[in-house]
Amino acid sequence: MIMNHRQTYPIITAVAFMCLVSGCISRAAREGIGAVRGGRGTWILLDSSKTVQLDAYKRFELGNFTDGMHGKAPSELLAYLPAEFEKALADKKIPNAPDGKTLLIRGKILHYEDASLLGEIISPLEEVVARVEFVDKDTGKVICVANCVGRTRESINSGIRTKAQGLARAIVGWIDHHYPKDKRIRE
């Protein structure tokens, strides 16, 4: 059976329309979930030879973060980071006492990227990458170095604050991975 052009065009149009609609629906669902979830964070350990124990630490202090991109990272990112760090610690129920043995967290922004116009249309990706040192404040000894990545993948989450939230979640994610469960805040 051979189809003529009058029969082919409506079928192709219907298939294209269904693909477009299903893509829009999945994007809308992703945006809705992203609105609730916020920025994402992940970390990559750079020196896996060390065994890290954080059970002695009572305080987690966010130290100095610098712009290693020669002014290309917005200053607002570093301004938002402390509050987002405190929120992320509280969400993981990791205690942060006003005194006691302190783990100092300091770092350098290595990469900062906003979504392009094309990225906003197709699927936005914004990220910030920082080289983070976890330092025993008493001794000054670096106990671990990791690259921490804050990322947004939804248009609704684009912006500097959400990338700071993702970076804070990455930093706290490393702490969470190494902090004992039995020392968490119990409610």
More confident residue, 20 or 153: 153
Residue 173 near residue 42 (C-beta atoms within 8 A): yes
Burial class (CB in 10 A: 0-12, 13-18, 19+), 2: exposed
Residue type, 152: T
Nearest in space to 162 (alpha carbons), one of 112, 127, 123: 127
Coil vs helix vs strand at 166: helix
Least confident of 35-44, 73-82, 86-95: 35-44
* pLDDT > 90 in the chain, percent: 60
What was the pLDDT predicted at 120? 53
Average pLDDT, integer, range 159-164 = 92
Residue 140: what are its φ and ψ, rounded to 5°? 80, 5
CATH number for the region 39-183 comes to 3.40.50
Domain ranges (residues) in the chain:
1-37, 39-183
pLDDT at 35 over 60: no
Predicted structure pTM score: 0.77
- pLDDT tens digits, residue range 107-145? 999 999 886 554 555 556 789 999 999 999 999 999 999
